[in-house]
Amino acid sequence: MDTEFAVRMVDITKHFGTITANKNVSLDIRKGEILSLLGENGSGKTTLMNMLSGIYYPDGGSIYVNGTRVDIRSPKDAFKLHIGMIHQHFKLVDVFTATENVKLGLKDSMSAVRKSIVEICKKYSFAVDPDKKVYEM
């Protein structure tokens, strides 16, 4: 497979019972490219990305990362390949602070996560108090 592509999804198919969510869908993402996936509600965009991020497993087709065929069976598998998904409707723990929510799943110390949040907010002019509880925001 061509290594100019960061990700290639080839002839991906996914069924949910008698419903076909994706049928022989192919997608190429070049290294350094930012891609927007547009389509009508129910057209299979999220299902396709859920397969790339390991939430669903395709019924057919192949996925390649940096030219190597991969078998992504879980979000952990995807994460090892540096693939993650930011969901449209993500969940936060309301009683946690912004820092505690970001820390979930990370090995970094709380102070390192807080420092990163402050730096990112400053860089992009975000107004997020890292010590404020989500339900207070």
- Residue 128 structural domain: 98-136
Is the pTM higher than 0.75? The answer reads no
Examine the domain organization and report whether 44 and 108 are in the same domain: no
Examine the domain organization and report whether 29 and 75 are in the same domain: yes
The predicted-structure confidence for 60-92, as pLDDT tens digits, reads as follows: 999 999 999 999 999 999 999 999 887 777 778
The predicted-structure confidence for 109-128, as pLDDT tens digits, reads as follows: 999 999 999 999 999 999 99
CA proximity to 4, closest of 35, 26, 31, 27: 31
The predicted-structure confidence for 32-71, as pLDDT tens digits, reads as follows: 888 889 999 999 999 999 999 999 999 999 999 999 999 9
Residue 136's pLDDT is 92
Please report whether residue 89 resides in a domain. Answer: no
10 Å CB burial of residue 38 (0-12, 13-18, 19+) is exposed
Examine the domain organization and report whether 13 and 75 are in the same domain: yes
E-only strand ranges, 1-137:
5-16, 19-30, 60-65, 68-70
